[in-house]
Structure formats: structure tokens, C-alpha cells
Structure 1
Amino acid sequence: MIAGLAFRLGLVLHDPLNARAVYWLMPGRLDGLMTGAALALVARSPGGLLRLNAFAPLALGAGGLALGALAVSRGGLYVTDPVVAVAVYPILALVFGSLLVMAQTAPPTGRLVRALSGASLGKWGKYSYAIYLVHYPLLGAIEWKTTFYQREVALLGGSRLPSVLLLAAVTISLSYGLGWLSYHLYEKRFLSLKRYFSQQRSQADQSAARDATTLQRETFARVS
């Protein structure tokens, strides 16, 4: 995370007008990757993520407040803003890392687990890689070829919020559609090849290999 922060600072100080490069280049967004890696190590250590369970809601609240304060102070969370480019990624890592801890340690029948286990979210996860790849070029193409998102609404004091929300809805819908096509026409064909690499495991091995997340949730349920 320190390396990611140093990379972002270096880019912004070198060229403040090109803060968007922080979003484009992977080293500028190491915070989320490092947070996930750290949580994976904690999950495999004695006590697992349960050790962080008490702090996760506090961290989530603090991260949410920090994100809101940054958005208000900078007039939005624009990737072209050098301050946002430097500060927003560790805050996002804190927010989603905390949410991940809460989800992994919550009781299996809890509202959070049930909400995050919904079929609709599962589909977004299934198509997420292609959505990740196409959403930004798609957004750029829409902004390049159209101007509807710049229209102001007189009834709302000249606000562009409805137009921007429409742009978001169009981009999200098209990204999901392209992600669906990519999965069913391309990705699924390669995933089906995994059947040639599966290894048979003995029943003893299968019974011994219990899922760590399930164990943590069972422990949390007994404690609570």
C-alpha cells in the first residue's frame, strides 16, 4: 500500500494535469490488491478473520465518512482530480475490506450474508471480468459520440444529475450485456476445459478439507 501511495504521489507531482494515469496504471491501485492479500493471510492464521470482526464495522463507518468528506470537499470523486487520485484508493480498500470481513464472519443466516448471496449479485460476479474490461472504453465511446449526459435540468436548478444518472444506467446496462455475451460465447468454453484437469480425491481427504469460512461462521454463531 505504501508503494501504491508513493507511485500515485509521484505521478501526480510529475504531472498534476494527468491524474487519470493513476486509474489506468495498475501500480496506482495496489491498495485493494494488498488489502485482499493481507486479509487472505489473516484468514489462514489461527483465529482467522474473527480477530478483525469487532473492528470491521468501525472501519467501515470511518471509511464511509472519509469517502463522503472527500467527495463533498472536492465536488465529486473525479479520476482527473489529483487529490482524489491520491487519497481515494486506500479509503475504498478500507471500506470494501471491512465489508468483506463482516460478510465472511457473519452468521450464515444473517441479513448481510443473505443479501450478498443473492442470485442477481452472483450473476454480476459471473460476468464481472468482461464487465471490468469493457465498461471504461464503453463509457469513453458514449461520451465521445454523444452529449446527452451534459444536459442541464432547469427544474433542478440546472443540475446535470439526471443526465449523469442516465449515462450511468446506459453504461451499466450495455456493460452487463457485453459481459453476458463474453461469458456465454467465449469464457465458458475455456472454463469447460477444467474437467480435463480435475483430480480425484479420496473420501478421507474430502471430509478432512472443511471450508475455512464455514468454520469461522460456525464459531461466530456459537460465540454470539
Structure 2
Amino acid sequence: MVSPLISRHDSAISHNYIPSLDGVRGIAICAVLAVHTFANMFPGSALGALGVDLFFVLSGFLITGTLLDSKHSPTYFRDFYAKRILRLFPVAYLYLLVTAFLFPTLHRMLGTSMPDYAGDWWWYLAYVPNLKPGQGAGDPYLWHFWSLAVEEQFYMFWPFLVLLLPTRWLFRSCLAMVAASLFFRIYWVGSGESIQLVYRNTFARVDAMAIGAAVLLVQRQYQKLLPAVRSISIVAAALFLVTLPILGVSEKSPWMRTGGQTLAGLAFGGLILYATENRYNWLSWRPLRQMGKYSYCLYVIHVAVIAHMEWVQAFLTRKGVPGMQWVAVLASMPLCYGIAALSWSWLEAPILKLKSRFQGQRSAEDRVAVSAEPAAG
């Protein structure tokens, strides 16, 4: 019998497909869109910033599975990096081109100013904007690329660890990375470092991906630890929720940037475990899966779309058009979704067909509708 959450067409997909993981990705992108759209209206929406942590945990889970499945392939590195390039570069670099050439033209037409990125483009082309002074936090249209950079930097060393380390040492490395990342955050916050450094630095964020990798390893190699993982994730979620009213939800909160971030990552690890063990649950709801399917492009473009809709809103307000305070909110999300749907059909899906040329053994990444998406921020 087909689940009411899944169409008959979906049920015909390979048994390796886990619809609920697309739903997890859908939750993550919805959270990010919420915080960047409603943050000034509803302070509680600041929790949406945790969508980036959920993306990171999911990425660590999927990428580790992909690498383990192809560990003995003679084309291990070629296949992995070729598939990453095919998935990530087209949308990101097209967006950078639009930002470099189209947006300045729009600014000139509207008589507004736009910062000159002439000396900064290489930071974004090389996926290292989180390493530039200020971590790119003040760069219009591009400030959210820090999370893409964090994932790319994770991809630079993680495949080597997966290849070289036995499973038991890989698992221990995950635990060590979680502890080290928490230590870095506590040290930097205590030293009075910029919150942007703590928020956007790879060393301070890698624990989320390590948690995802550890969950994958437990599920595959250390099943006896599964009850403990479930318990830890539940306790972490409870502690996180209990501390919110006391310690605050702002991304500038020292608690959120230290222990709160770790608790959220542990809770998300439990959510991903639940999703993989119950592939046709509420996470398989079609709208969630569709948001997950388009999540990468949604993440890349949403900052610019929201900014331009706010311009339209301000322009109409100056002209005396009534009821314009909700224009940016009501128009941005449908526009983002439409652009992302077109991007999927015309750009991403055709390019992703090339990934078949770099298939070794069937990987964990193939168990979901699309490959692991970069994070949000």
C-alpha cells in the first residue's frame, strides 16, 4: 500500500531512495528562508539560522556514505570531486556572474550604489570568503556564501581521512572534531573575538559535519550504539529547548555560538537517523521534498531576491501605494521558488546527468533525490 505522503510515481523509485532525507533538506531551507525574511518582524525566527547546522549535519552524513561506498575505487578522488563540481559550481558561478554584471547595471539604472568587488572576487571564486577580513559579512548579495565555503573546505580534507583511516579511527576522529570545534568556539567567544569569526570559521563549524559522519558510521558499523545515539539526540534537543528562554536565540548570543550550537547538531543527528529509519514518515510530505529538491538554488539566490523585493517595496511606499509593508515577504518566496524550479529543469538536472560518468559503486548519495546540498546561513 502506498503511503498517503508518497505518490504512486514516487513509490516506484528505487528502494534505495529515502524521501524523508529530502524532507530534512526541505526543513533546513525553509528555516533559512524564514530567518532571512522575517528576522526583523519576528525575533523568534532567528532560530531559522539553525537551518545551516541542519544542512551541515546532513552533508556530513551523506558525503561520508558516498566516500565509504567508493573507498576502494581506483577513481575515488576523481569521482568525488567531479560530482561535487557538477553539483555545486554551475549555480554558484552563474550567480556570481549575475552579481558581477547584472546587479551593477540595475544599481546604475536605479541611481543607487553598489560596492566594488573588483579586488574580492577571487575569495568567492575560490570558495574562501569566510577567510577574508570580516568573513564577508558585509558583502551585499554574497554574505551568505560563507556556508558554501565551509562545506567546500570540509571536502578538501575529509575524503583523505575517510580513505586513510580505519573505521574505528574515523569514528574517533569525528568525536575529536566535535570536541575541538566546541573548544575553539568557547575559546574565541571568551577571548572577545568577532562573532562573525566564531559563526563562519570552518574550525568552529566542522562539528556539525562530524556529527553527521558519526551518525552514518554508527548506523553502518556500530549498530549497538544506536540506542545511545537516539537518547543523546533527545536529551540534546530537550536541553536546547529548555535553555532558549534563559540564554536567548540571537545568533550573537554566546550560548548559541558555543554549547547551543553543539546541542542543536546532536539533535539534528537524531533527526537524520529517524529519517533514514522511517523513510515514509511526515518528512516525506511532497511540499517538503520539493523544497529540498530545489534547496541549493533557493539558498544561493534568496538573498538577492529578497533584497530586490525590498527595493520594490521601498519604491512603492515612496510613491504612496498603500499596504506595501508585506510586498517583500509575499513576493520573495514565490519568486525564489519559481527561479529555483527553472534552474533545476534547465540547468541543474541536465548537468547532473553527467554524474553517471563518474559512478563507481552505488553510493549513499544516490539514496536521495539529489546530492548533498550546501548549507545555509
Same fold per TM (> 0.5)? yes
Task: Give distance in 2, aligned partners of 1:13 and 1:22.
Answer: 11
Task: Give distance in 2, aligned partners of 1:29 and 1:46.
Answer: 25
| Aligned counterpart, 2:250 | 78
Q: Which deviates the most, 183-192 or 23-32?
A: 183-192
What is the CA distance between 1:183 and its match in structure 2?
A: 4.8
Correspondence for 1:189 among 337, 340, 347:
347
| Aligned counterpart, 1:178 | 336
Q: Which deviates the most, 127-136 or 113-122?
A: 127-136
Correspondence for 1:32 among 165, 184, 208:
208
Task: Give distance in 2, aligned partners of 1:145 and 1:21.
Answer: 33
Alignment map for 1:57-206 (pairs within 5 Å): 57-74=230-247, 76-106=248-278, 113-134=280-301, 170=329, 174=332, 177-178=335-336, 180-185=338-343, 188-198=346-356
Task: Give distance in 1, aligned partners of 2:225 and 2:335.
Answer: 38
Given the superposition, is the C-alpha separation of residues 46 and 84 from structure 1 closer, same or farther in structure 2, using an over 3 Å criterion?
closer
Q: Which runs of 4+ in 1 moved over 4 A?
A: 134-146
What is the CA distance between 1:86 and its match in structure 2?
A: 0.9
Higher relative contact order (CA 8 A, sep 6+): 2
Query: In the alignment, does 2:179 pair up with 1:2?
Result: yes
Check whether the contact 1:71–1:77 (CA below 8 A) recurs between aligned residues.
yes
Query: In the alignment, does 2:194 pair up with 1:21?
Result: no
Q: What is the identity percentage for the equivalent residue pairs of Structure 1 and Structure 2?
A: 22
Given the superposition, is the C-alpha separation of residues 184 and 141 from structure 1 closer, same or farther in structure 2, using an over 3 Å criterion?
closer
Given the superposition, is the C-alpha separation of residues 176 and 2 from structure 1 closer, same or farther in structure 2, using an over 3 Å criterion?
farther
Question: What SS does the aligned partner of 1:189 have?
Answer: helix
The superposition leaves residues 74-106 of structure 1 with CA deviations (integer Å, 9 ceiling, x where unpaired) of: 1x2111112221111110111111121122223
Task: Give distance in 2, aligned partners of 1:199 and 1:29.
Answer: 32
What is the CA distance between 1:132 and its match in structure 2?
A: 3.4
Given the superposition, is the C-alpha separation of residues 179 and 15 from structure 1 closer, same or farther in structure 2, using an over 3 Å criterion?
farther
What is the CA distance between 1:174 and its match in structure 2?
A: 2.9
What is the aligned residue count?
177
Task: Give distance in 1, aligned partners of 2:183 and 2:294.
Answer: 33
Given the superposition, is the C-alpha separation of residues 186 and 122 from structure 1 closer, same or farther in structure 2, using an over 3 Å criterion?
closer
| Aligned counterpart, 2:150 | none
- TM-score, length-scaled by structure 2: 0.38
Q: CA-atom RMSD, angstroms?
A: 4.1
What is the CA distance between 1:26 and its match in structure 2?
A: 3.1
What is the CA distance between 1:182 and its match in structure 2?
A: 3.6
